[in-house]
Structure formats: structure tokens, C-alpha cells
Amino acid sequence: MKNFIYDIGTKIYFGKDQIKNIGDIVQSYGKKALLIYGGGSIKTNGIYDAALTYLKQKNITVEELSGVEPNPRIETVRKGVTLCKENQIEVIVPIGGGSVIDCAKVIAAGAFYEGDAWDLVLDPKKITHALPIISVLTLSATGSEMDTFAVISDMKQKEKIGTGHPLLRPKASILDPTYTQSVSKYQTAAGTADIMSHIMETYFSNKKGFMQDRIAEALLKTCITYGKKAYENPDDYEARSNLMWASSWAINDFIKLGKEEAWTVHPMEHELSAYYDITHGVGLAILTPHYFEFILDNTTVDKFCEFAHNVWEIPYEEDKYQMAQKGIDALKEFFEKLHIPKTLKEVGISEEYFDEMAQKASSRLKGAYRELTKEEVKQIYQRAL
């Protein structure tokens, strides 16, 4: 196990009606809040009204930024930064899924930055201060509610880039599983794939970490059991609870500390979203099995057998490659059961930009489980086509 520092300070209010605590939580950080949200569904499902009521009970002044995009844009971040500076905002309160929280994170840092917020996306070292973030989660997927990362897009430049800093980790997050019961089947499936991808990016690593990998398997089994249940029965509270809690732990550092490495599938997928604005989790689900088959060789086969056995209950057998393939097939079948598209074509992606996308993605794989070349990334895109 490598040396590490564990420091996950996010306080989680988990369960039904935890929104009632939002006034108290926000109050302990300031009196002027910026509420950030997306397309406005929180206004029809009652979350917006509840949040405002409890914030006003504590005399919190509220400014608003709405319309955050599913792949949040730098233009929206800039608007938020301006609102913070003009209104002396003290606390940032994103209500939504990962996009809204990611957007809020860069706004929180941008509020203290003199230059353009895109600098903070390109170079996280420029983040030196950030406003406290109190998030209210409405979608189980990115884990942004408990982690330090944010992914922001500049669609004009066809850039989708991840940044991250310990200061961006939310101080507290409200996780009410009932908020996710209205999430569509498609988004539930995509969210589940996203959570699983976060876990697998860390699970497949050259660094040893027995406990970390057993925990990773525990989280994957949670996604497999409850992703399907939530897909089939959106109101299943137990399923929504388990998915929501798993989403936070997939990427909050716990399973990676002691065995950290750079990721592979996420950088490859970010190019798909940057060029075609597709749903992130769907892109991950399409690419992952092809990536796995591509890297299956003598150096990885034992890890794939471990995956097959411990996650999918596939019995050990003499032919390790056959067993490894069964694990990958089980993953494919799981995504199929969630009716996630299986090819890039299905989500409107052609070969047109494969060259530049592969170029960009391969430049971001330094230190990964497999450092793929541009040509290798292109081959994976082609297999997924």
C-alpha cells in the first residue's frame, strides 16, 4: 500500500426530508448564498420551494443561477463568478446532479480568482481559495457531492476537461434518495454506468490494495443489484438509497488512496462528450467493454479473473482468458439489461473526429493502468463504433 493522507471532510445528511437542515448548515458558513441549478425540474418537484423556505427561515439572502447544462459550460461558470463577485456571496448551494455541482465548484474557486475561470480548469494549481459549497443531490452518478473534482466544457473549443482541488470538496451534502425517484430510466442507467466506471478506473490498477479492491467490489455489487432494481422500479427507495450512497463512495478518494493511478476510460469518453455532447455515463458504458477487451493480455488477465469471480460470481476455471472474457461479457450484459446504447453510432458519433479525439485523449493517460497511444485509443473508438 502506498503512503497517503485521508481527508474527506464532507458531512452527509442522508435520507428522507434532510432538506430541513439546509438553513442551519448554510447559516454556519454565511448569510449570502448563491443557489445554482439546471433546467428547472427542481421547481416542479418541490425541492426548490423547500430549500428556499428553510433558507429564508434562517434569514439567508439568496441569489440564483439557473440553466446549468448537462455538460456544464465555461460560459455558465463565468456568469456564476460574476454573480458571486457582485453580490459578495459567502456560500454556494448547488441543487442538482453532478453537472450543477461541478459548475458550482469552479464558480466557488473563480470567486477568488482575478483572471478567467477557464484558467482554473486548465491548471488546478491556480485554485488557492474557494467559497464553501453545500450541495443538494438529485442524481446518483458523478459523486461530485463528496469529491474534489469538476469537469467543465468549452464547446466552442471542443474541450471537456477535468480539474480538481481539495478546496472544491463540498463542506456538506444533502442526499435524499426520494429526489432521485423521478430520474428517467435512461439517466438512471447512465448514472449507474458512471458510478461503476469510477470504481473500475481505480480497481484496474498496477498498484496493490487488497482492502481497496474488496471495497470496490462491494460498491460494484451494490450498483449491479440496485442499478437494475432502480431501473425496473424507479420508486424503490432501498435501490435509490444504495445507488446514491454508492455514488459518493465510488470517487470520494476512499478506494483509490494507497493505490492511486491516472484514469483511462474517462479521458477517452470526455472527448466524445466534448465533440458530441452525449450523456457521459452512456459514453463510458459503450467504451468500457471494448477498452477491457483491448487491454486483456498476460499482464492483466489475473485481474480480470478476479473481477469475474469477485464481482460477477463466475467460477474459477483453467482457461484464464475464457474466464476473464466471461467477466467482461457479464458487464456488457448488465449494461444491455439497462438498455444503454451499445455503439457510438447509436448516439450519433461517426469516425469524423477520431483522429483529433484520440490525440487529445492519449495525451491525458500518463501514469494510467495502460498508457494508450493515439493509435490505440483510435482502435478502441473504432471497435466501439
Residues that bind its own copies (CB under 8 A): 1-9, 11-18, 177, 208, 210-211, 214-215, 217-219, 221-222, 225-226, 237-238, 241-242, 245-246, 249, 257-258
Nearest to its own copies of 110, 227 (CB atom): 227
Nearest to its own copies of 160, 198 (CB atom): 198
Nearest to its own copies of 180, 362 (CB atom): 180
Residue 357, C-beta contacts closer than 8 angstroms, at least 6 positions apart: 271, 272, 274, 275, 377, 381
Locate cell 449507474: which residue?
A: 192
- Residue 63 CB, shortest distance to its own copies, in Å, is 28
- Residue 245 CB, shortest distance to its own copies, in Å, is 6
- Residue 261 CB, shortest distance to its own copies, in Å, is 17
- Residue 206 CB, shortest distance to its own copies, in Å, is 15
Nearest to its own copies of 73, 326 (CB atom): 326
- Residue 323 CB, shortest distance to its own copies, in Å, is 16
CA distances to 70, 106, 158, 205, 239 from 116, rounded to whole Å, are 22, 11, 18, 35, 41
- Residue 61 CB, shortest distance to its own copies, in Å, is 26
Nearest to its own copies of 76, 242 (CB atom): 242
Cβ proximity of 152 and 163 under 8 Å: yes
- Residue 21 CB, shortest distance to its own copies, in Å, is 9
Distance CA 107, CA 36 (A): 10
Read off the DSSP letter of residue 68.
Answer: -
Nearest to its own copies of 9, 40 (CB atom): 9
**What is the grid cell recorded at 115?**
483572471
Of 243, 119, 353, 34, give the one whose Cα is nearest residue 381: 353
Locate cell 433558507: which residue?
A: 55
Q: What is the DSSP string of 262-310?
A: B-SHHHHHHHHHHHH---HHHHHHHHHHHHHHHH-STTTHHHHHHHHHH
Nearest 5°: the CA angle 160, 166, 170 is 85
Nearest to its own copies of 14, 294 (CB atom): 14
